[in-house]
Chain A
Amino acid sequence: MTTIAIPDGMPQYDDVPRFDVAAVRADFPILDREVNGHRLVYLDSANTSHKPRQVLDVLAGHYAMHNANVSRSVHTLGTEATEAYEGARAKIAAFVNAPSVDEVVFTKNSTEAINVVAYAFSNASLRADADERFRLGPGDEIVISEMEHHSNIVPWQLLAERTGATLRWFPVTDTGRLDESGLADLVTERTKIVALVHTSNILGTVNATARITERVRQVGALLLLDCSQSVPHQPIDVVDLDADFIVFTGHKMCGPTGIGVLWGRGELLAAMPPVMGGGSMIETVSMARSTFAAPPARFEAGTPPIAEAVALGAAVDYLTGVGMRAIQWHEKELTAYALDALATVPGLRIFGPTVPVGRGGTISFALGDVHPHDVGQVLDSLGVQVRVGHHCAKPVCTRFGVPAMTRASFYLYTTTEEIDALVAGLEQVRRIFD
């Protein structure tokens, strides 16, 4: 038997963190169900992830035993609910290594988190005494990329329309990588904010941000990273990333829907004007005017999604228990396996990186001329759940000259057998439409 020795000083095979996928799957009740007479093969985690029993129990348990409004009650239930809500904030802050708990703002999802930042710019632009870094007008520029989800395009288009600023973007290369060749011309002294996806929801590309961050610092702009598809899948350290804002959403990371996160540098959040007005976000209110609470409360008007936040805290505990490095490695192995397996399907074209380097476990493809709706329908009849359509990233579809794509995406509970089921399903599609 031949063994390949890994040189000393390199990570050894045993150093790679692992977990028991079967044990993890047993935590997810939905994975036991059938779809159309077949065992569920869920390959749509980039759309939304499933929730383990540990999260579902906390969600139900909160309503069953600790239900009360937060931040305003002196009674016991109110205190318990507030402690649970703020405790979840602390867990999430630790999960992304935020320097301060107060840098974690709860929102409804990533979309709302991005809009909070965009509207803070908008509101600051109307006030001469606002922080200069958030004031936009004609001649100022906002930079995004061609591989953004619509949620990181439309808010900036609307902001540019309101303020007269100009929207510019990084193009995407033929292999689905961010084209940074024009970085110096694109990010300049005119740039006020760069809003960039960390991991593409459609191409799977994981963007290396170091050069962009360096340039952003050089020109004195701000950097927002859309981490909706990275926080669930790899260890994220906001200090290490050196961004100014990151956004992510609970439902893609084993948490419930209706809860998302805006993380921002404390100093920046403190300089931002409020966006939504209402209860909980004020310092004092008179009939003529109000003053506002410090962040994060300033950006959390009204009763927040309390149980959802608490359950997101449980999701973070769950993911930490499995280990984010181990999850990242598991998905890397799945991705390598899937890229090889999909390459055996005649007529299949992958959009995005075809090597398992600098990409996550989200793979979009075309199967000959068969429309993705038809691909998805046949796969569904076999219990295989994939997403089809434009994936809320129409500019990416346009870039690659197709109206829609089929996408398979993996998570910690995904197995190689499920990828085999996908490949077998694609053979069935070819039999019907060829």
Chain B
Amino acid sequence: MQLDQLYQEIILDHYKRPQGRGLRDADRPDAEVGEAHHVNPTCGDEVTVRVAAVGDIVVDISYDGAGCSISQASASVLYDRLSGRCAGEIAAVHAGFVALMSGRGQVTPDEELLGDGVAFAGVARYPARVKCALLPWMAFKDAAARAGVGVSPTEVEA
């Protein structure tokens, strides 16, 4: 299998220059804040995602973590794609990304929906790495729920 399918430039860019990294306090006093910490027990990757929401708008997503290029780049893409958007839009993107990652390389990604997330299409061919890519997305889902924003239904069968 071609390694550059996995380590696309977009992924390496997000890994080396992550967007929105670092946990932040919400700058709006009226925001509901939720946080979730997820670990991948097989490899020790971890990520903490904090979501600040006003109504059904996610006004900020901040995160911190330690892990491989795939999990850390995925968190950066998630920040890019979901910050500032409403629950309905977020649910669509989230479902699209999870479907892409669960598709074993058979799903054609929707670039309009997923943006840089399409670069992860190659990751879906590596079953051992799918959980890395999904780690921040699953943490986000829990954090968002705690901030009052539902992202269901997206169950993973990775």
Q: Mark A364-381, 1 if CB is under 8 A from B, else 0.
A: 000000011110011001
Task: Confirm or deny: A433 has a beta carbon within 8 angstroms of a beta carbon on chain B.
Answer: yes
Judging by beta carbons under 8 Å apart, are A374 and B69 in contact? yes
Judging by beta carbons under 8 Å apart, are B3 and A381 in contact? yes
Q: How far is the CA of A373 from the CA of B129 in the complex (A)?
A: 9
Q: A403 to chain B: which residues have CB within 8 Å?
A: 43-46, 66-67
Contact of A389 among B12, B43, B69 (CB under 8 A): B43
Task: Confirm or deny: A397 has a beta carbon within 8 angstroms of a beta carbon on chain B.
Answer: yes
Residue of A nearest to B16 (CB): A433
Which chain B residues in 36-72 approach chain A with CB under 8 Å?
Answer: 42-46, 66-70
Q: Mark B106-142, 1 if CB is under 8 A from A, else 0.
A: 0000000000000000000010010010000000000
Q: B46 to chain A: which residues have CB within 8 Å?
A: 403
Contact of B43 among A378, A381, A404, A433 (CB under 8 A): A404
If A373-B129, A403-B66 touch, whether A432 touches B7 (CB-CB below 8 Å) is yes
Task: Confirm or deny: A178 has a beta carbon within 8 angstroms of a beta carbon on chain B.
Answer: no
Q: How far is the CA of A388 from the CA of B44 in the complex (A)?
A: 10
If A373-B68, A374-B68, A432-B12 touch, whether A381 touches B45 (CB-CB below 8 Å) is no
Q: B100 to chain A: which residues have CB within 8 Å?
A: none
Q: How far is the CA of A371 from the CA of B68 in the complex (A)?
A: 5
Q: A374 to chain B: which residues have CB within 8 Å?
A: 7, 68-70
Judging by beta carbons under 8 Å apart, are A377 and B43 in contact? no
Q: Mark B1-20, 1 if CB is under 8 A from A, else 0.
A: 10100110000100000000
Judging by beta carbons under 8 Å apart, are A388 and B3 in contact? no
Q: Mark A36-52, 1 if CB is under 8 A from B, else 0.
A: 10000000000000000
Q: How far is the CB of B139 from chain A (nearest CB, A)?
A: 16
Q: A377 to chain B: which residues have CB within 8 Å?
A: 3, 6-7, 126, 129
Judging by beta carbons under 8 Å apart, are B3 and A373 in contact? no
Q: A372 to chain B: which residues have CB within 8 Å?
A: 43, 68
Task: Confirm or deny: A332 has a beta carbon within 8 angstroms of a beta carbon on chain B.
Answer: no
Task: Confirm or deny: A390 has a beta carbon within 8 angstroms of a beta carbon on chain B.
Answer: yes
Q: How far is the CA of A394 from the CA of B45 in the complex (A)?
A: 12
Q: A373 to chain B: which residues have CB within 8 Å?
A: 43, 45, 67-70, 129, 132
Q: How far is the CA of A65 from the CA of B84 in the complex (A)?
A: 69
Judging by beta carbons under 8 Å apart, are B67 and A433 in contact? no
Residue of B nearest to A370 (CB): B69
Q: A397 to chain B: which residues have CB within 8 Å?
A: 44
Q: A390 to chain B: which residues have CB within 8 Å?
A: 43-44
Q: A371 to chain B: which residues have CB within 8 Å?
A: 45, 67-69
Q: Mark A67-89, 1 if CB is under 8 A from B, else 0.
A: 00000000000000000000000
Q: How far is the CA of A7 from the CA of B70 in the complex (A)?
A: 56
Residue of A nearest to B6 (CB): A377
What would be 8 A-B contacts, judged by CB atoms less than 8 Å apart? A372-B43, A373-B68, A377-B3, A377-B6, A377-B7, A389-B42, A432-B3, A432-B12
14 more contacts with CB within 8 A, not counting A371-B67, A373-B69, are A36-B1, A371-B69, A372-B43, A372-B68, A373-B45, A373-B70, A373-B129, A373-B132, A377-B7, A377-B126, A389-B42, A403-B43, A432-B3, A433-B69
Chain A residues with CB under 8 Å of chain B are 36, 371-374, 377-378, 381, 388-390, 394, 397, 403-404, 432-433
Chain B residues with CB under 8 Å of chain A are 1, 3, 6-7, 12, 42-46, 66-70, 126, 129, 132
* 5 A-B pairs closest in CB distance: A373-B68, A371-B68, A403-B44, A381-B3, A389-B43
